[in-house]
Homo-oligomer: A and B are copies of this chain.
Amino acid sequence: MKYKAFHRLSYGLYLIATELEGKKYGYIGNTAFQVTSSPSQIAISSHKKNNSTDKIINSKKFSLSVLKKEVNTTLIGEFGFMSSTDIDKFRNIETKTSKTGAPIVTDSCVAWFDCKVVTTVDVGSHMLIIGEVVDSDVLSGEEPLTYAYYREKYKMLSPKNSPTYVERDRLDKEEEPKAEIQEEREKQPEKDSGSDNMSTFTCTICGFRYDPEEGDPTMGIPPGTPFEDLPDDYKCPICNASKDYFRED
């Protein structure tokens, strides 16, 4: 079994939201797909431990917003890696009310669907939730965000509750197939394994990995900057967590 095979499945990235007893809930998911066209039904897979899962099942409704390629990463950090029990994820977010009553997130999105839950299937750690689409709209002609682009750009893993979660160690141990891109990497000089201050560090909140060889150009950190030399107010570019939340790999 090669776990890297799972990275060859293609997905988009979606913001899934609902409302129950006057409170809004939402999370980022990559597992959403149309299961029938007549009527139009969409299935999502949601971890039982996700705060939103029970709320969707009890409210019998959810909205699915398709994120755009150049997404606001704070939205990914908060909706993807934090819990509604800790923060109000909707405090700075634009939403509109749908036919079902689910809040539709329109920030950073290219299209949305409003769904009423028709079936749920217990598949173990996750619930497969099937919704009939009662309304939908296109907001923009921009490209949607794909999971492949997101993983490549932000070097991130899935959150632990994602259906596509695989431990990084398990992936790192697998050999890559031979391909041009791999050969290019092999030609690069090897890391000096004795140089400890060039270790990579991973954000324990969202899984973002800081690699000192690359720095963090999005935060103005040049390549070659050891984690220890980052300014004290450095924040994770994805979820805004402080340096204290990073652990050495």
Contact = CB atoms under 8 A, between A and B. Distances in A.
Contact of A164 (B11, B37, B119, B164): B37
Interface in A1-54: 1-6, 8-12, 31-43, 45
Interface string A155-184: 000000011111000000000111111100
Contacts of A138: 2, 4-5, 8, 176-177
A112 B125 CA distance: 23
Interface hub of A8, A12, A34, A134 (most chain B Cβ within 10 A): A8
A5 B113 contact: yes
A133 to B, nearest CB: 7
Given A35-B126, A119-B123, A5 B136 contact: yes
Nearest to A13: B10
Nearest to A114: B1
Interface of A: 1-6, 8-12, 31-43, 45, 66, 110-113, 119, 121, 123-126, 128, 130, 133-142, 144, 146-148, 162-166, 176-182
User: Ordered nearest first, which 5 A-B pairs have the shortest CB separation?
Assistant: A141-B179, A10-B12, A5-B136, A8-B111, A5-B111
